Amino acid sequence: MKKRKTEHLNLAFQSRTDMSEIDNRFIYEPMFSGHPKNNIPETVLAGKKQRVPIWVSSMTGGTDYAGHINRNLARACGEFGMGMGLGSCRVLLEEGKYLSHFDLRKYLGNEVPFFANLGISQIEKAIKNNTVDDIAAMVEKIRADGLIIHINPIQEWLQPEGDAIEVPPIETVQAFIEKSGIPVIVKEVGQGMGYESLKALLKLPLVAVEFGAFGGTNFAQIELERSTPERKRLYEPLAYIGNDAYKMLDYANSIMQSENDLKCENLIVSGGLKNYLDGYYFLQKSQFKTIYGHASAFLEYAREEYELLRDFVESQIKGLQIAYAYLKLNKEY
């Protein structure tokens, strides 16, 4: 106790806070709960239960390093009850390569949701070439619960090897759902989506819409970094077009209030969320059934030994437990 009190005295002046640092999104109510244990509500996605409302957003696949990352992420999802979306499975679909990087069910277990991933251009080609069954076979091969379709027109436009998108993505998504019968999640890859795009998607029988909002990893910017300096200079303004998660959730809630024919009930809020407090804010603010996703936050730890990732995930869950016990949403924010 003496040591602890001495540390408190020595650290007191270093630990002062300024009013500008306060997080005004929340009202702190310390009087009505003991320290929490199992106070995070379970969520259901694609008929699978998640013990915590956290989603590992799509990241990578198709290199030796990616295999290590995906196995670590899958282990964490299995241990803590999170859902997982794979990075693009195009290499597996077209070449049958790197199966071990995507065949992760043995690490995840059968209880949590697990989704494969392809870009809208691959879906468009499959419909045109009558090869939708190949996608269904790939999903079945890795024992996934469905498919994420990522919508990325700006990324494809800026990518040196990018594919031309010939059909409006909403038409392609709708046709794929009708032809395949595969459960589908639709997401963006860093720019997010506007009101009309969200409304159109929420009227389809999707498992979920994932934001992929502006403010997180920006794949348009990634493609520009891979380009020539001149091309980067000319097209960089496009990388700063988008909708952040706050704006997108306002859109979604407004759509919920104004439309009566929505068929999609679930949101995955992702893009720029830094920690459990951001996640808790969106969970409380949303009028949909909602979980939240991280990509780069997990990637930072998944590249190393599993124990580092495990400790990070555990800290996020414990922070979320404290939020559920003591924080109320400030209606003014």
pTM of the prediction? Answer: 0.92
Closest of 57, 192, 169 to residue 113, by C-alpha: 57
As to burial, measured by CB atoms within 10 angstroms (0-12 exposed, 13-18 middle, 19+ buried), residue 48 is middle
Round to whole Å and give the CA distance between 73 and 258. 38
HSE at residue 163, side-chain half, CA atoms within 13 A, is 14
DSSP-derived secondary structure letter, 12: H
Per-residue pLDDT of the chain (333 residues; tens, 9 = 90+): 656 544 444 544 555 566 688 999 999 999 999 999 999 999 999 999 999 999 999 876 666 778 899 999 999 999 999 999 999 999 999 888 789 889 999 999 999 999 999 999 999 999 999 999 999 999 999 999 999 999 999 888 888 788 889 999 999 999 999 999 999 999 999 999 999 999 999 999 999 999 999 998 888 888 888 888 888 898 889 888 999 999 999 999 999 999 999 999 999 999 999 999 999 999 999 999 999 999 989 999 999 999 999 999 999 999 999 999 999 999 888
| Structure tokens that stand for 146 in this block | 């469905």
d(CA 170, CA 196): 11
Q: What is the reported pLDDT for 160? A: 78
Q: Which domains does the chain have, with CATH numbers?
A: 50-329 (3.20.20.70)
Please give the DSSP secondary-structure letter assigned to residue 14: G
Per-position b or e across 136-161, b if 16+ CB within 10 A of its CB? bebbebbebbbbbbbbbbbbbebbee
Supply 143's token pair.
């024992």
Q: Treating both helix axes as pointing N-terminal to C-terminal, what angle do 132-141 and 169-180 enclose, rounded to 10 degrees?
A: 70
Residue pair 191/237 in contact by the 8 Å Cβ criterion: no
Question: 328: part of which helix (H) or strand (E)?
Answer: strand 327-329
